[in-house]
Structure 1
Amino acid sequence: MGGSLYPESLIRVHTDFLNNSILGNTHSVSNSSKLSLKLADEARQAVLSHFNASSDYTVIFTANASAALKLVGEAYPFIGGSNLIVGADSHNSVHGIREFATHRNAQTVYIPSTSHGGFDTASAKNVLLQNRPRSRDLAPSLFVMTGQSNITNSKNPLSVSTYAASLGYHTMVDAAALAATSIINLADFPIDAMAVSFYKMFGYPTGIGALVVKKSFLVQLQRPWFAGGTVDVVQVPGRLVTRAHELHEQFEDGTINYLQLPAITNGLRFLSAYLPFLPLRLSSLLLYLTSSLSNLRHDTTGAPVVRILSKLPAKRLRSVGEQSDCGTLISLLFFGPTGEMIPNSFIEYAATSRNISLRTGCMCNPGGAASMLGIEEQMQQLYPGVTLKDFEKHVGRELGVIRISLGLASDFKDVYRVIQFVSLIASEHSLEVLWNEWTQSLDSDSPHAL
């Protein structure tokens, strides 16, 4: 579902900590506040250590990865002549940065997606070269890349950030999906900022993300407002403002989530013990799942039950420490015995009735979805005010895919249950029973039903 299940041990440790500690708002000097500040600093250091970030970096805690991306977008010094370069296969929280760029007369340029998502490295470098900034000082430009797509399963090589930096771009990475199952070493790449979300990594807590960012990059950002905790002195009435001394404090609006931050330290400790083994284990599960689903056929016609659209690994991992060239999710569509597409909403209902959690739709990634579904041309024909229902009517079917995600807590039993569920769709009798259940549920939900 895009978020990890929270470990029982992590919840137990954090609950025990809260039962035996008194924490206070970090914007004070009481003993409880000092403890909160100490634990926040420990969490900050744990994040830097986890990503092997040098002392050139700091950590800004945000509500989520989207807030971290917005923080940079709203404060980046776009001007006329600046360029924002993003991949088409990106989350809407990345696409949203174009609103800030447009507001300041900057241009947004897209790197096209391949048919299986992500971008072709040569194409990406060509786009970056053609739109290279004239000068970092005169027209600063920003390259925002998605580390791993949340719908196409493609990974983009972080080495492209090195090329972008050599051309004069500032570089930011959306690592919300990547960080959950991959080792990220910031010492290897000239990345100015990286957004992460901790519940995606180890399940708990929600409501905390982070921007891991170079201090030299932070000082170039121009915040459009200030809030409690971000300032030292405010002239009222007047216009004078003295920002907080610590750089990270200038960007953490209001009160940070001080009750939950200790769970970040423990969660990273928990994840780091498993992270070297995750790619090997999850790639094995993914291989078994995809091969099994691809071989399933309808019992009446022999037609395939599913079509996998997302990227699959190019090689099989064989040892601990190896990193996969893609993620651990599959996006797919279901088809009936005669080749007609089965509505995603039916599959979601049928899976839910069997206590299997799937996600359907475009996963807030319209570019990645369009590339996999082959509707990029229709995407270009959209008009102001168009709704999803309008778009689906034009295309002639429900839009989006079925997404099955594997992560930290996934095991063989989970994968086998999914295969058993899809086997029901392959059976004419079981499919008919499920279809009748679904149509009856739709009738009962109708506002005209008695």
Structure 2
Amino acid sequence: MGNSHSHASAPGLDIHHRAPRPLAVGRKRSQAFSTLTLGCAPTGYAPSLPSYRDYPFQEDASVSDREEKRSFDPPPVYALSTTPDLVEDGGASVAYGAFLKQYPQYQLTWIVDALRRSDFGRLERSGETYVDYMGGSLYPESLIRVHAGFLTRSILGNTHSVSNASRLSAACASEARQAVLAFFRAPPGYTVVFTANATAALKLVGEAFPFSEGSSYVLCADAHNSVHGIRKFATARGAGVHYIDSPAQGGVEESEAQAVLRQHRPCGAGAGACLFALTGQSNISSSKNPLSLIQFAASQGYSTLLDAAALAPTSTISLAETPVDAMAISFYKMFGFPTGVGALVVKESFLARLERPWFAGGTVDVVQAPGTIVTMTGELHERFEDGTINYLNLPAITDGLRFLSAYLPFLPLRLSSLTRHLITSLSDLRHDTTGTPLVQILSRPPRKVLRSVGEQSDTGSVVALLFLFPSGQMIPNSFVEYAAQRHNISLRTGCMCNPGGAAALLGLRQAMSELPCDATLRAFEQRMGRELGVVRISLGLASDFRDVWRVIQFAKLMATDEARSALWDEWLGDNTGVAL
């Protein structure tokens, strides 16, 4: 029967009985997040965290704590230099000095330089330049140590029980929910549904939203495939799908978005339920869309959904200020670990309106078998968490949010400075043989100049571009990715699972509208006569000047005919290259 907690059955037992929720079991918090992590927590977050109770370990707690602290604590802040270790040849130190003259405010983010040393030293040890934070953030090493230490000391069990191990898991899950709500400043009335990722959270809304004849689903063209995919659920129930077009640099124009929302809003008492999905930040164009569209859509009668997967890692989101009905996030994009866990942060009133097309273990109280009777569980969030939640990883969510809260205020200022410098430097590069531009920047550049910690940027920290031959033709993205890999640079190429955004940046909206129903990417590329997609460089939590400088040095290499030709020959020789 349904969500069967393991308790003894007895004749006459009320089948609706549920074991009480564990209240008194907590987990012992590690001291690994010390000065660097917790010393700069924004006012309002730390006090709202749930209280933690000691878990009764068998070991001598005082000895364990001392050993753990000696092992895990980073060096004190005052002992860390804030200047990157610029040991490369080619004038990196000189370039850094020039950068600081242009962006002196960057030095206000010195604590992230200390973090780079304490938690991301593997970047320097490996020699890898990681610039794919939009694909996934890098995890801080201390977060892994803290979580591994907790797992090695603790006994966790399936939450669908009442054993001590299960009670500890349930307590950790409750901590994680409260930490998510606190991090996003959610007012009363919100809850958290844990999912596999942001995609699963978006699908959960799409499959359960009460679309019907006369309903509308309104979304941005510059959106992730997971947002586009909801249109399948809408059309299957007879709802209309309506797009907000993107300008050449992606995103939306606020006035046009409002016009589309007015045109397709629910009208009359019998109108179907309408849903508006807003992409908070594009993962390809770097555009940030105005969150005020959430309030506007709500005023027009829409339910509202925010895809915050790309926005949450580097921007402050307050659900008190922007009370969206539901918001989808992925934690690995925010702080790198764990993968396989996302969340739908959602109003309970909205969740109660959703109609799930099925039920599963964990979502029900009683199931008649054989028969048709199903009684859903009393806890709203449990009705949407199919099967067993990822209880071994949920404790890392609490620690990860606590970790990120200390550094999030510094990231917009830091990343905006680095992104501006990267765009300017790449735009200035010319081929050594013809003097023609090496790159074409396609994404939206930041226009707002940030001066102080806590300010929010008007764009993300994504640079989408094309590399060009001296003739002005596009260098194949697959070759650029191969050459970058050969120089230990982790970037990404392609359409980034965002066809509308890619079409806007590449000027392919008309061609996109003319696609046949059996279109394939290969056929589309053959028709256009070139590879489709962009080169994407994205910065994040651990990025510093060294990363940007190395990308620029790589680009300079691509502007040199001799070096580029040698890489081209290697590419073809490895049977990797395809001549177009």
Identify the residue that residue 388 of structure 2 maps to in structure 1: 255
- The structure-2 alpha-carbon separation of the partners of 1:444 and 1:247, relative to structure 1 and needing over 3 Å to count, comes to closer
Alignment of 1:211-290 (within 5 A): 211-290=344-423
Q: State how far apart, in whole Å, the 2-side matches of 1:75 and 1:33 are.
A: 29
The amino acid that maps onto 1:165 is A
1:406 aligns with 2:539: yes
Q: State how far apart, in whole Å, the 2-side matches of 1:412 and 1:59 are.
A: 37
Q: State how far apart, in whole Å, the 1-side matches of 2:393 and 2:200 are.
A: 17
Say if 1:165 and 1:190, in contact at 8 Å, map to a contact too: no
Say if 1:135 and 1:168, in contact at 8 Å, map to a contact too: no
Q: State how far apart, in whole Å, the 1-side matches of 2:340 and 2:555 are.
A: 34
Q: State how far apart, in whole Å, the 2-side matches of 1:442 and 1:183 are.
A: 45
Q: State how far apart, in whole Å, the 2-side matches of 1:188 and 1:52 are.
A: 9
1:70 aligns with 2:203: yes
Say if 2:310 and 2:333, in contact at 8 Å, map to a contact too: yes
SS at match of 1:179: coil
Say if 1:136 and 1:169, in contact at 8 Å, map to a contact too: no
The amino acid that maps onto 1:160 is L
- The structure-2 alpha-carbon separation of the partners of 1:369 and 1:444, relative to structure 1 and needing over 3 Å to count, comes to closer
What is the deviation of 1:443?
6.7
The amino acid that maps onto 2:287 is S
1:350 aligns with 2:483: yes
1:202 counterpart (335, 340, 362): 335
- The structure-2 alpha-carbon separation of the partners of 1:265 and 1:439, relative to structure 1 and needing over 3 Å to count, comes to same
Alignment of 1:286-305 (within 5 A): 286-305=419-438
Identify the residue that residue 449 of structure 2 maps to in structure 1: 316
Say if 2:479 and 2:577, in contact at 8 Å, map to a contact too: no
Say if 1:358 and 1:402, in contact at 8 Å, map to a contact too: yes
Q: State how far apart, in whole Å, the 2-side matches of 1:231 and 1:54 are.
A: 27
1:360 counterpart (476, 493, 509): 493
SS at match of 1:408: coil
Say if 1:300 and 1:337, in contact at 8 Å, map to a contact too: yes
Say if 1:65 and 1:209, in contact at 8 Å, map to a contact too: yes
1:54-113 CA-partner distances (Å, limit 9, x unpaired)? 121000000000000000000000000000000000000000000000100000000000
Say if 2:478 and 2:577, in contact at 8 Å, map to a contact too: no
Say if 2:479 and 2:568, in contact at 8 Å, map to a contact too: yes
Q: State how far apart, in whole Å, the 2-side matches of 1:24 and 1:18 are.
A: 12
Q: State how far apart, in whole Å, the 2-side matches of 1:210 and 1:315 are.
A: 31
The amino acid that maps onto 2:298 is A
1:3-32 CA-partner distances (Å, limit 9, x unpaired)? 100000100100000010010000000000
SS at match of 1:81: coil
What is the deviation of 1:138?
3.7
1:174 counterpart (307, 316, 320): 307
SS at match of 1:196: strand
1:352-393 CA-partner distances (Å, limit 9, x unpaired)? 111101111100000000000001000011111111001001
The percentage of aligned residue pairs carrying the same residue is: 65
Identify the residue that residue 390 of structure 1 maps to in structure 2: 523
- The structure-2 alpha-carbon separation of the partners of 1:391 and 1:225, relative to structure 1 and needing over 3 Å to count, comes to same
Identify the residue that residue 95 of structure 1 maps to in structure 2: 228
The amino acid that maps onto 2:460 is G
1:148 aligns with 2:270: no
Say if 2:203 and 2:226, in contact at 8 Å, map to a contact too: yes
SS at match of 2:312: helix
2:258 counterpart (125, 131, 140): 125
What is the deviation of 1:264?
0.3
What is the deviation of 1:190?
2.9
Cα RMSD (Å): 1.2
Say if 1:86 and 1:111, in contact at 8 Å, map to a contact too: yes
1:375 counterpart (504, 508, 531): 508
Aligned residues: 446
Identify the residue that residue 568 of structure 2 maps to in structure 1: 435
What is the deviation of 1:445?
10
Q: State how far apart, in whole Å, the 2-side matches of 1:244 and 1:302 are.
A: 68
SS at match of 1:71: helix
Q: State how far apart, in whole Å, the 2-side matches of 1:99 and 1:131 are.
A: 18
The amino acid that maps onto 2:512 is M
- The structure-2 alpha-carbon separation of the partners of 1:259 and 1:135, relative to structure 1 and needing over 3 Å to count, comes to farther
Identify the residue that residue 187 of structure 1 maps to in structure 2: 320
Q: State how far apart, in whole Å, the 2-side matches of 1:146 and 1:173 are.
A: 6
The amino acid that maps onto 1:267 is G
Structure having the higher Rg: 2
Runs (4+) of structure 1 moved beyond 6 Å?
443-446
SS at match of 1:207: coil
SS at match of 1:367: helix
- The structure-2 alpha-carbon separation of the partners of 1:220 and 1:88, relative to structure 1 and needing over 3 Å to count, comes to same
2:239 counterpart (85, 103, 106): 106
Q: State how far apart, in whole Å, the 2-side matches of 1:204 and 1:159 are.
A: 31
Q: State how far apart, in whole Å, the 2-side matches of 1:149 and 1:137 are.
A: 35
Identify the residue that residue 30 of structure 1 maps to in structure 2: 163
Scaled by the length of structure 2, the TM-score of the pair is 0.76
SS at match of 1:320: coil
Structure 1 range deviating more: 133-142 or 81-90:
133-142
Identify the residue that residue 46 of structure 1 maps to in structure 2: 179
Say if 2:284 and 2:443, in contact at 8 Å, map to a contact too: yes
Q: State how far apart, in whole Å, the 1-side matches of 2:576 and 2:286 are.
A: 36
SS at match of 2:553: helix
Identify the residue that residue 114 of structure 2 maps to in structure 1: none
Say if 2:295 and 2:322, in contact at 8 Å, map to a contact too: yes
1:14 aligns with 2:147: yes
Say if 1:65 and 1:197, in contact at 8 Å, map to a contact too: yes
What is the deviation of 1:339?
1.1
Q: State how far apart, in whole Å, the 2-side matches of 1:420 and 1:355 are.
A: 12
- The structure-2 alpha-carbon separation of the partners of 1:272 and 1:135, relative to structure 1 and needing over 3 Å to count, comes to farther
Say if 2:571 and 2:577, in contact at 8 Å, map to a contact too: no
The amino acid that maps onto 2:562 is H
Q: State how far apart, in whole Å, the 1-side matches of 2:148 and 2:324 are.
A: 36
Say if 2:306 and 2:327, in contact at 8 Å, map to a contact too: yes
Say if 1:243 and 1:250, in contact at 8 Å, map to a contact too: yes
What is the deviation of 1:316?
1.1
Could you tell me which runs of 5 or more consecutive residues in structure 2 were left unpaired when the two chains were aligned.
1-131
Identify the residue that residue 328 of structure 1 maps to in structure 2: 461
